Amino acid sequence: MNKYETLFILNTSLEEEAKKAIIEKFKGVIENGGGAIENVDEWGNRKLAYEIGKANEGYYTLINFTAAPELPKELDRVFRITDGVIRHIIVRNEK
């Protein structure tokens, strides 16, 4: 089991319920894949460093979790096919 963190940015045009549903979806992917969520930190709306697809702001969420090495590949796949996700990154913490 390795420690990971993922940061993803959602489109601010989504309704609050849709944002919560997408966050729960990603938490479910981690937990159903055998991972354990350590922390979920919702940063809220923030200004983007540069415009992405005509969007100047995004809703940031950081999730810290532990999982087997195969899980980040599946999580990345789900990020790519989910509408409303502007950007995402998954990083392995080596401490």
* HSE-up (13 A, CA, CB side) for residue 66: 6
- pTM for the whole thing? 0.92
Residue 89 pLDDT greater than 80, yes or no: yes
34-82: pLDDT as tens digits: 999 999 999 999 999 999 988 999 999 999 999 999 999 999 999 999 9
Which CATH number belongs to the domain containing residue 60 in this structure? 3.30.70.60
2-40: pLDDT as tens digits: 999 999 999 999 999 999 999 999 999 999 999 999 999
CB contact at 8 A, 12 and 47? no
Q: For residue 76, is it within any domain? A: no
Cβ-in-10-Å burial (0-12, 13-18, 19+) of 83 comes to exposed
Q: For residue 22, is it within any domain? A: yes
Q: For residue 74, is it within any domain? A: no
Q: For residue 78, is it within any domain? A: no
Q: For residue 79, is it within any domain? A: no
What's the number of domains the chain is made of? 1
Residue 65, phi then psi, degrees to nearest 5: -155, 165
Residue range(s) defining the domain that contains residue 24: 2-68+84-93
